[in-house]
Amino acid sequence: GSTIGILGGGQLGRMMSLAGTAMGYRFITLDPTPESPCGQVTPQIEAAYSDEDAARKLAAKSDVITYEFENVDAGVAALLERESYVPQGSSLLYTTQHRLREKRAIEAAGVPVAPYREITDLQSLTKAAEELGLPCVLKTATGGYDGKGQAVIRTADELETAYRELATSVRELVLEKYIAFQAEISVIAARSPKGEIKSFPVSENVHVNGILHLSIVPARIEESIQREARKLAEKLAESLGLSGLLAVEMFVTEDGRLYVNEVAPRPHNSGHYTMEACATSQFEQHIRAICNLPLGDTTLLSPVVMVNVLGQHLDEVVKRAGAPDDALNEFGVVPKLHLYGKNESKTGRKMGHINLLCKDVQHALDWVEQTQIWRQG
Ligand code: ATP
Ligand code: MG
Ligand code: MG
């Protein structure tokens, strides 16, 4: 069988390799962390991502190379493309590593983004805030995740503080208009090199402290908006010449308009619900897409709520996982627990997730509320 090399050994790599192993592929990962989540289930080259010798070693052992995060060093990406086969290519990585490049590419595809301005200094920030109107969100152009590297600005006197706070780490910033959304949603689209495209059902996403807390599927928004969201994601996949997966995060305004917030060229936390709730998981679909196999059926088999297990939730979740839970039985909710095997549990760190299969998403949401595990956020 062929060997797939994964740059990055986190939970996304782990779940990719578990899905791909069931399909007969072998895996190897490159990650600096000893016994990374992926390295616990596949061989691992333990080295820095920027280590060119290690990247060469990965290339030599792999027939196909993929990645599980977008901040891959450009030099390493080029090396891997030269010495192995990287169906996803490096150009989409380059685009999605930088919020300005990303927004321009989305606009070029004819897909709406929230109004924004490029910020280079405090003066341009003041001007941009006047043009866009407050509230706004200031974001570093590179390196942000889980809401890190951004600040909401509500009044003009907050501009300077926000600028000083964020401009210390990264010079290039983006100011976005704050979108008063009725919901945040995402769509994961897959495209194979031969041009087949399929998208997964829309997920409604709830964030707490900037970190994804819940994915609710079916999303509680109008059918017509859901169809439009999937169409936009598929249009982006086509326009970007995608091979693999593209996760597209969007805002839905009160009057039903859609704005793309950001995209990620890989499996995404908001697609974990597919593992038990869809005919094909996002991880299997990713392997299918990069290996140029026919894409799998994306039909939703059951309503589902995915809830993230962060460090502060882990002990309680593990304690309860084996025990019959009256609340669950009462609601007819079937919980499927996934843990990532991370060595160190920390507040705010993603340690696992639970897919709550249910007859109605409200039953699962009621259960999440009742257990009190997630009460503190
Ligand atoms: P991720 O972990 O998804 O990569 P990130 O750090 O890249 O997150 P964003 O997705 O840009 O950050 O923003 C995090 C959250 O902050 C969004 O999911 C949304 O809840 C809120 N947010 C970001 N930008 C805006 C905006 N322009 N208007 C309203 N809310 C926003
Ligand atoms: Mg992001
Ligand atoms: Mg996001």
Give domain 181-371's CATH architecture. Answer: 2-Layer Sandwich (3.30)
Mean pLDDT across the stretch 249-253?
Answer: 98
Rounded to the nearest angstrom, the distance between the alpha carbon of 45 and the centre of ligand 1 is 33
The residue among 83, 349, 110, 351 whose CA lies nearest residue 228 is 110
Q: At 15, which helix (H) or strand (E)?
A: helix 11-22
Q: Is 184 in the pocket of ligand 1 (CB under 6 A)?
A: yes
Residues of the chain with CATH 3.30.470.20: 181-371
Q: In the chain, which segments carry CATH 3.40.50.20?
A: 3-86
Q: With bands split at pLDDT 50, 70 and 90, how would you rate the model's confidence at 1?
A: confident
What order do you get walking across the sheet with 116-119 strand by strand?
A: 116-119, 173-177, 136-140, 150-153
| Mean pLDDT on 229-244 | 97
Å from CA of 23 to ligand 1 middle: 35
Pairing relationship of beta strands 258-264 and 244-253 according to DSSP bridges: antiparallel
State whether the beta carbon of 146 lies less than 6 angstroms from ligand 1.
yes
Which atom in ligand 1 lies closest to the alpha carbon of residue 147?
6
Residues 6+ apart with CB under 8 A from 322: none
Tell me whether residue 354 is annotated as binding: no
Instruction: Read off the amino acid at residue 76.
Output: V
Number of H helices, E strands in the chain: 13, 17
Separation of CA 81 and ligand 2 centre (Å): 25
Question: Residue 352: its pLDDT value, please?
Answer: 98
Q: Retrieve residue 87's tokens.
A: 């169906």
Backbone angles phi, psi at 4, to 5 degrees: -105, 125
Is 57 annotated as contributing to ligand binding? no
Most confident of 73-82, 143-152, 201-210: 201-210
Integer Cα distance of 145 and 69 in angstroms: 11
Does the pLDDT of residue 5 top 70, yes or no? yes
CATH 3.30.1490.20 spans which residues of the chain?
115-177
Neighbours of 311 (CB within 10 A): 15
**What is the chain's length?**
377
Is residue 177 marked as binding?
yes
The answer for residues whose C-beta is within 8 angstroms of residue 164's C-beta and 6 or more apart is none
Q: 144 a known binding residue? A: yes
Q: What is the mean pLDDT of residues 238-258?
A: 97
Would you say the CB of residue 135 lies under 6 angstroms from ligand 1? no
User: Which residue has tokens 């006047």?
Assistant: 130
By mean pLDDT, which of 90-94, 259-263, 290-294 is the weakest? 90-94
Nearest ligand to the C-alpha atom of residue 268? 1
Minimum CA distance residue for ligand 1 atom 14: 147
Instruction: Return the CATH architecture of domain 3-86.
Output: 3-Layer(aba) Sandwich (3.40)
Mean pLDDT of 61-66: 98
CATH superfamily of 115-177: ATP-grasp fold, A domain (3.30.1490.20)
Separation between Cα atoms, residue 261 and residue 282, nearest integer Å = 20
Mean pLDDT (the chain, rounded): 95
Indicate the pTM of the whole model.
0.97
- Ligand 1: atom nearest CA of 179 is 28
Phi and psi torsions of 141, nearest 5°:
-70, -25
Q: What is the pLDDT of residues 302-316, one digit of tens each?
A: 999 999 999 999 999
Among 213, 259, 261, the mutation site with the greatest number of ligand 1 atoms within 8 A of its Cβ is 261
| Other Cβ atoms within 10 Å of 171 Cβ, number | 13
**How remote is the C-alpha of 278 from its chain's centroid?**
17
Express each pLDDT in 84-126 by its tens digit.
999 999 999 999 999 999 999 999 999 999 999 999 999 999 9
Other Cβ atoms within 10 Å of 352 Cβ, number: 22
Tell whether the model's pLDDT for residue 17 goes beyond 90.
yes
**Ligand 3 centroid distance, CA of 319 (Å):** 31
Residue (of 96, 95, 130, 97) closest to 115 by Cα position:
130
**Is the separation of the CB atoms in 155 and 217 below 8 Å?**
no
User: In angstroms, how far is CA 192 from the centroid of its own chain?
Assistant: 19
Please tell me the predicted confidence (pLDDT) of residue 322. Answer: 66
pLDDT for the residue numbered 263? 98
Token pair in block for residue 62 = 């792999």
Does the CB atom of residue 210 touch ligand 1 within 6 A?
A: yes
User: Residues 317-352: pLDDT tens digits?
Assistant: 998 876 667 777 788 899 999 999 999 999 999 999
Ligand nearest the Cα atom of residue 135: 1
pLDDT of 152 over the 90 cut: yes
